[in-house]
A and B are shown apart, each in its own frame.
Chain A
């Protein structure tokens, strides 16, 4: 197995050396200058404990669907935001026409334009965040079947 050497500077100012294996796990061997190591980090046992706890939780019936549906429950609000965003460009164009017709001045046009563009950015940020699916989505049965080309 190929290993990559690393150098770690500890809080005590000691320089420790260790390596990272291909699984990304760190094993560090400390050199305190006295010849006695004081850091040993073997994460395998912790990985097993955490993975076991995680699998126990997500194996409970309905948990994966419930976690994924936290995002899905916001659909009505997201639809309202999409509708609002669709009005922004027409409202900007309307303000431009009113400016050209002399109904509003430079300052008023700037205020309208800045406000609408700011709102557009806010909505875009909200929709972008909302479109990020739960990472548990890959565990959902329909998604998995679709991804794997299987029929249910």
Chain B
């Protein structure tokens, strides 16, 4: 369902509801470095997910 039925807008809305993603600057010069990406539950998600 995730790949086939949801629009990009729906996916973004769900993401914003569940996760806060912070991409920090890296010293490696590469844009993407998994160690520089913080993925946290939102306050709303933390309140219901144990």
Partners in one complex: yes
Interface secondary structure of A, over-half rule: helix
A135 and B13 form a contact (CB under 8 A):
yes
Interface size range of chain B in the complex: 20 to 34
Known contacts A63-B49, A136-B14; is-contact A46 B32 (Cβ 8 Å): yes
Measured CB to CB, the residues of A under 8 A from B are 23-24, 39-43, 45-46, 49-51, 53-55, 57-58, 60, 63, 66-67, 69-70, 134-136, 138-139, 144
Measured CB to CB, the residues of B under 8 A from A are 1-2, 6, 8, 10-11, 13-19, 21, 23, 30-32, 34, 37, 39, 41, 44-45, 47-49
Given A135-B13, A135-B14, 6 more A-B residue pairs with CB atoms under 8 Å apart are A41-B31, A45-B34, A46-B31, A53-B39, A135-B16, A138-B6
